[in-house]
Structure 1
Amino acid sequence: MSATELHTPIERVDIIGVPMDLGASRRGVDMGPSAVRYAQLREKLRKFGIEQVEDHGNLHVPDRESANEHAGDAKYFPVIESVCEKLAQKIEAIVRDGGFPVVLGGDHSIAMGTLKGLRDARGRPAGVVWIDAHSDINTPQTSRSGNVHGMPLWFALKHGYAEGKRTVQIGLRDVDRGEKQILRDAGVTAFSMSDIDKLGMTAVMQKTVEITGAGEKSVHVSFDMDGIDPSEAPGTGTPVKGGLSYREAHLAMEILAESGVLGSIEMVEINPILDQRNQTAILAVGLILSGLGKSIL
């Protein structure tokens, strides 16, 4: 079988863009959904053999100039929460209708909405594979910046949209001191880049599937593109050297696809202003395809 032949069990994919930048400090991440679409996501999904590809367009996100920053420790939180509620409703409807959601960010704060929608649709939290350089589990009190894209996993766990015992983080290499204890207390399994170097990505992903999976389409992957080394994914607002290689990132998605447990994908923190020839968005499209079952042979 050649690399161009089609083999996928996914019949329908629903694309939702969320041009959110209120959770981050660097401008431009709101253009992430457009960059991924420009990289021909819809066309490549159809070429792969997925007959039903429904692009629902972008959710409306108030611009920074019109949004109230909010005086608390989580900047713009009421506005972000409102957008996430709309995203949750969209995700719930798609999943109940048999679709496979592919969410395009936008900054990582949108994960709160995605995870809420999955929980509401299925009656229990999804298993979560969180690929990221950062753990994103700060509380409003431990965060030094007040940026909500560093807090979504904490909010998701707090509100029951995710469970620590079925959440795995992969690729960590920049974790705040306060977050380390929060991770331990929450029961989240974390694989740092050091762990991946020692164990290898195959072993890490096999353990990840074992922890997160609970049947067909029971797992969500929330993929922050800064999880990948900036030499491969330069278009992201908080790059950290020493990240996943191109092949490690694809292997992670391929193993999730082969396991049969993956039910939704979220790609976030793509910033075209910081990118080089749309390299990061093109890589994101390739990773989505790997997660849906595309393989070399």
Structure 2
Amino acid sequence: MTKQEKISAFDPNGLATSDQLFGLPFSYEESETVVIPIPWEVTVSYSAGTASGPKAIAEASLQVDLYDAFLKDAWKRGIFMMEQDHKWEATSNQYRHLAEKHIDNLESERVDEELLHSVNGACAGMVARVKELCANALNDGKRVALLGGDHSTPLGYMQALAERHADFAILQIDAHADLRDAYEGFEYSHASIMFNALKIPQVSKLVQIGIRDYCEAENDIIEQSKGRVTTYFDRDLKAARFNGKTWKEQCEEIVAQLPEKVYLSFDIDGLDPKLCPNTGTPVAGGFEVEEVLFLLETLVKSGKKIIGLDLNEVAPGEDEWDANVGARLLYRLCNIMAVGG
């Protein structure tokens, strides 16, 4: 059956009849967007669970209605989630156990260098494998959405994009600045993702939105970046709105900071914790879903292009709430990325 025949036979208003992401009927070859799941959480520093995020989101996605008012017939473009390699989660669990031992050692002011080297080596292997997977999909002409796992997972994707684009910005939606240098000794810590991203020369700009939990060293990096890092702190955004500035005006200001090509890195804890109560490091404050989507729609309406994205730190709890939010957000993000693509 051709893709067009599948479109003709598919009922976007009915119940999901496929176990594929969002119940869509398309193959990898037929889909414009590919979701790559990376169930990895070796260096999480508070609560675990994000490695279960991709599977939970895939299951919850079967309940997502496919109509998107922002992009007509969005589902016809095709979104395909690659099969989750169970080796990822097994390796993550193995090295998470070692990472916990290292953290315990730090609390006792002892460091086992061999153990730390082992964890860092495993994380370096994850970065290299993610780069390979994303590069393969990009070479096939796909738009790629990386689905974590913790926030360390997209570094390899950023590296793959850097080999294809001479200049791009990262737009980071997050509660945390993630600018720590090898946090807790972990070179590829989830708390160091943007510190590592800034090592990529092609990343000309980092624009951070909603930051509300950060340390003095991270603030120093922001202030000393000579404009390469622009941070919109949650408190400042809200204070401006309390004083009469509209979210539309703020979004236009943020978009003006960005070049033509933008990579979106979305940590779910950028949202209000009521929307992601089981994420690893929730922080009071944050955005509503539609506030973030309005910003991204403003971005693509301006003519700028989202060249890739990640969604991470979704950790399912005892019910489907976090995965429910994550699945609907993933669908909208993929569709916004498809505009102009």
Instruction: Report the CA distance shift for 1:43/1:283 in structure 2 as closer, same or farther (over 3 A).
Output: closer
1:150 aligns with 2:191: yes
Distance 2:177 2:218 in 1: 7
Distance 2:265 2:222 in 1: 17
Q: Displacement of 1:253 after TM fit?
A: 3.0
Distance 1:125 1:64 in 2: 36
Partner of 2:26: none
- 90, 97, 119: which one aligns with 1:76: 119
Answer whether contact 1:15 1:54 (CA < 8 A) is retained: yes
Matches within 5 A, 1:178-257: 178-186=217-225, 187-197=228-238, 198=240, 199-214=245-260, 218-257=261-300
Q: Displacement of 1:145 after TM fit?
A: 7.6
Distance 2:295 2:322 in 1: 17
- Structure 1, residues 27-61: CA drift from partner, whole Å, max 9, x if none? 21100111111121797669742333232223542
Instruction: Report the CA distance shift for 1:203/1:85 in structure 2 as closer, same or farther (over 3 A).
Output: farther
Distance 2:160 2:173 in 1: 20
- 9, 21, 44: which one aligns with 2:41: 21
Answer whether contact 2:36 2:146 (CA < 8 A) is retained: yes
Q: Displacement of 1:105 after TM fit?
A: 0.5
- 62, 75, 79: which one aligns with 1:53: 79
Matches within 5 A, 1:1-297: 12-25=32-45, 26-40=47-61, 48-59=74-85, 60-61=87-88, 62-65=91-94, 69=99, 71=112, 76-120=119-163, 122-140=164-182, 143=183, 146=186, 148-160=189-201, 162-163=203-204, 166-186=205-225, 187-197=228-238, 198=240, 199-214=245-260, 218-259=261-302, 260-273=304-317, 277-291=319-333, 292-293=335-336
Structure 1, unmatched stretches of 5+, are 5-10
Answer whether contact 2:165 2:202 (CA < 8 A) is retained: no
Answer whether contact 1:19 1:33 (CA < 8 A) is retained: yes
Distance 1:99 1:158 in 2: 26
- Structure 1, residues 151-203: CA drift from partner, whole Å, max 9, x if none? 0111111243623xx21000100011111001222330000112221154333
Q: Displacement of 1:246 after TM fit?
A: 3.1
- TM-score by length of structure 1 reads 0.82
**Which residue identity does 2:49 align to in structure 1?**
G
Answer whether contact 1:130 1:167 (CA < 8 A) is retained: yes
Distance 2:43 2:94 in 1: 14
Q: Which stretch has the larger CA shift, 253-262 or 126-135?
A: 253-262
Instruction: Report the CA distance shift for 1:252/1:16 in structure 2 as closer, same or farther (over 3 A).
Output: same
Q: Displacement of 1:97 after TM fit?
A: 2.5
Distance 2:54 2:237 in 1: 29
Instruction: Report the CA distance shift for 1:253/1:287 in structure 2 as closer, same or farther (over 3 A).
Output: farther
Answer whether contact 1:14 1:94 (CA < 8 A) is retained: yes
Distance 1:74 1:232 in 2: 36
Instruction: Report the CA distance shift for 1:35/1:74 in structure 2 as closer, same or farther (over 3 A).
Output: farther
Q: Displacement of 1:74 after TM fit?
A: 8.7
Distance 1:153 1:50 in 2: 34
Q: Displacement of 1:130 after TM fit?
A: 0.4
Answer whether contact 1:138 1:150 (CA < 8 A) is retained: yes
Instruction: Report the CA distance shift for 1:43/1:96 in structure 2 as closer, same or farther (over 3 A).
Output: farther
Instruction: Report the CA distance shift for 1:174/1:246 in structure 2 as closer, same or farther (over 3 A).
Output: same
Instruction: Report the CA distance shift for 1:118/1:201 in structure 2 as closer, same or farther (over 3 A).
Output: farther
What's the secondary structure of 1:240's corresponding residue? coil
Structure 2, unmatched stretches of 5+, are 1-12, 14-30, 68-72, 103-111
